Structure 1
Amino acid sequence: MLWLKIEKELMRQKTSVYRLAKNTGIKQTTLQNYKNGTEPSFKNMCKIADALDVSLDYFRETEDDK
């Protein structure tokens, strides 16, 4: 579910996982692990949220919250 939100935001911003990796300093293989279900550390979630210019709360929202 988390990766779907990241992917949705990447598509909305018309950017790539490669660019996210460059902007965060997180290796593409690590991002791939997140896509495969590994939970990111809080530190990496902060980096991702900052790079995508979204609040950490964005990743906590469920479809029911909207």
Structure 2
Amino acid sequence: MLWNSIQIQLDKQKITVYRLSKMTGIPMNTLYSYKNDGKEPPFKNMCKIADALDVSLDVFRERRRSNDEDH
């Protein structure tokens, strides 16, 4: 699940979902739907999240690839 990769970055940087919402302009309800319901963020929102966390989109893609290979 893509949210796991986001959560790892949030934990590393000690950022809450609330703060991520403020940093990205993505409503908290939307972020929680990614987290709790497993919804995939659209590319536009992934770019906002990556920019807010100051990481490359590749960080999320690489983790996802390794998770896909595990299954």
TM-score by length of 1: 0.90
Aligned residue number for residue 24 of structure 2: 24
| Displaced runs of 4 or more, over 2 A | none
Q: CA deviation at 1:57?
A: 0.6
Superposed CA deviations along residues 5-47 of structure 1, whole A, max 9, x for unmatched, are 1111101001100000000000000001111211111100000
Q: Which amino acid in structure 2 is aligned with residue 10 of structure 1?
A: L
Structure 2 stretches of 5 or more lacking a match?
A: none
Structure 1 stretches of 5 or more lacking a match?
A: none
Q: Which amino acid in structure 2 is aligned with residue 18 of structure 1?
A: Y
Structure possessing the higher relative contact order (Cα contacts under 8 Å, 6 or more residues apart): 2
TM-score by length of 2: 0.84
The structure whose residues are more often helix, as a share, is 2
In 2, the alpha carbon distance for the partners of 1:15 and 1:45 equals 16
Identity among equivalent positions (%) equals 64
